[in-house]
Each structure stands twice: as structure tokens, then as C-alpha cells.
Homo-oligomer: A and B are copies of this chain.
Amino acid sequence: MTLADVALRAGVSRSTASFVMTGRAADMRISEAAQRKVLEAAADLGYRPNLTARSLRTNKTHTIGLISDTIATTPFAGEVIHGALDAALAHGHLLFVAETAGNEAVEADLISEMLDRQVDGIIYATMFTRYQKAPAVLSKVQSVLINCLDPTSSSPRIVPDEYQGGRTAARALTNAGHLHGIYVIGGRHDIPKTPGGLYAGVNRMRGVEDELRTYGTEVALSYECEYEPAFGYQATIELLSDGHRPRALLCLNDRLAFGAYQALGERGMRVPDDVSVVSFDASDLASWLRPSLTSVALPHYELGRIAVTTLLDAPAGKGGESNDVLVPMPLHEGDSIATVTSAGQIQE
């Protein structure tokens, strides 16, 4: 079924058929009759345009490549894809998805494969926000970076607003009356493996500290460790063993909070009656915990959606000013925070 078949059956030329099928009939002032004939013929024949052929002429494939370092390990990546997909579809585009597993050779290869297929643009995503150089080729094509803070890149960078997220988490506590006995688990992730901490950790902590300062208070103690359950467990156990009596735990992610819950459970401490907990990620885990965990979400769906929108709406003239976007991190409320009355008593 080609356009020629449709034109033949409609008794018009291929160009007329083409104009009708691409919706430019009005522009070209095609007669009503001709339009109807073409449309009918197309319907009868079940005609569908060959987009590959069209692309050859138009230099647009209505196709985008999404390439990230990890898609399987984390459910978050799925959300990024999801957001990107919805936006792409809304613009009539399809998405190539690929993953590099952190291998630069694979990465270069994947980008080439996509470019060879004439994608209209490429979205390059890293699993979590960090300073990292994006592949150089990307600056030569339409591209957008997700979570990748390449200072030398001219591509728009889409990242979560971790600082605001930190303030939000702290405010969830202060709003409930918690001003003292706030312990942080995870901190900036300042451990030998990642000296100085992670982007997310550093900025969340800045937000937390600034927010608490607003209330004239501060964190009682911050425990730096890897963001995994076992460390959350260990940190909490150590805290308790050292004689600390936290009224609130601010965990840098849900997995840490999960570990903290396990430790608190073993020590017979109840959430939120004995200790309130707030966290980051708002993963499924947060909703499965008992009580459900109040957590500040990482806006993965939005990151994907905005990346595609930014890519597709980019002005043809590669405009000068930065198109960086800070995406807000919303609070997902659970039942892990108790309200403290001014008398210092707990009220759930």
C-alpha cells in the first residue's frame, strides 16, 4: 500500500494525495472533491504512510533516543522512561531506549546507532544526580541531560531540586512540632567511596540545615553512611546504644528508613509514638512499611517528561541562555510523623 496506490484509486496525482494526507490540503487549495476522494481511497486501502520513506525527505524521524546508565537496577528508571514516553507520544514521537551499564564504549556505540537511525534528539540520563561529563558528541546534536551535571555541556540539564527537597523534609518535622532530638541518618553520603558526599546528600542537607535554622534549631547529630538498609539498621542501633534518644529520624532515603524501622522494631520503639521518621524517595517501600513512611519524592516521571518537552520545544536556533530546570520534589505523606504539642507531649 503506497501513496501511489491511493492516488491511482482516487484518480489524482501523487502530490495531491500527499498534500491531502499530510493535512496541507487547505494550504494548497485542493478541491473538496479531490480531498474526499483521496481520503476515501486511503481508508478503503487501509493506507498508512511509510514513515521511513518520509523521513528520508523531511529529515525528521519523529523518534527520540533515551540513553541511561541503568534502567533495570532501579524502579526509578522506569518512571523516567514513563514520563519521557508520555511526552514523546503526545508529540507524535517514539522512544528508543538503551542502557550503557556505565560502559563508555557501549555508550558511544549506542549513541552512534541512534544517530545512524536519524533520531531527532537524544536524552542522556544518569541514575542519580552527579557531576559527570556527558559524551562530547551530544553537544553536536539536539540533546537534553537528566541528572547529569556536566558544567561544560551546552545541553539543558534537568535535575531534581534537592535543596528544596531537604527543606521540605525538615519542614514536615517542624510543622509537626519537632524542633529537638532530630537525628540524620545517611547525611551527605560522605564516606571513603564518595568523599565530600553525593550531590543529593549535600544539597538535601543544606536544605535541612537552612530550614531548621529558620526555626532557630539544628540537627542533633548526623550519621554519614551509605544509603542502604543495612547501614540504616546499624546507624540506628549504634545511636541507641550510645545513649541517644532521638525524637525524630531524618533518613536520606527509604532504604535507610527501612533499616531504621528494623532496628527500632528490635529495640521495642514504636514509630511514630516514640520516634518520628521522614525520608526521601517515596518508593513503594515507603507505602509498604508499617506505619507508612512520610517521604519526599524524587520526581522521576517529571524528569523524563520535562526532558522530552524541553528537547522537542527547543527553538531551532540553539538559543544562548541556559535551559536548566530544577524539578520540585513533592512530599508524600505517610503516618510516620507524630505531632508534638507545645507542652512537649506527643499526639498522634
Partner-B contacts on A (CB < 8 A) = 48-53, 55-56, 61, 63, 71-75, 77-79, 81-82, 85, 89, 94-99, 110, 112-118, 229, 233, 255, 258-259, 262, 265-266, 285, 288, 290, 301
B48 touches A112 (CB 8 A): yes
Identify A53's interface contact among B56, B112, B115, B258, CB under 8 A: B56
CA distance A94 to B97 in the complex (A): 8
A97 touches B95 (CB 8 A): yes
A288 touches B89 (CB 8 A): no
A71 touches B75 (CB 8 A): no
Classify the secondary structure of A's interface with B: helix
Number of copies: 2
Q: Say whether, besides A56-B52, A94-B113, A229-B288, A71 and B63 are in contact (CB < 8 Å).
A: no
CA distance A288 to B61 in the complex (A): 44
A262 touches B233 (CB 8 A): no
CA distance A71 to B81 in the complex (A): 8
Inter-chain pairs besides A52-B56, A71-B82, A73-B78, 10 sampled, C-beta below 8 Å: A48-B115, A51-B117, A52-B117, A61-B117, A75-B78, A85-B97, A229-B288, A259-B288, A262-B290, A265-B265
B99 touches A96 (CB 8 A): no
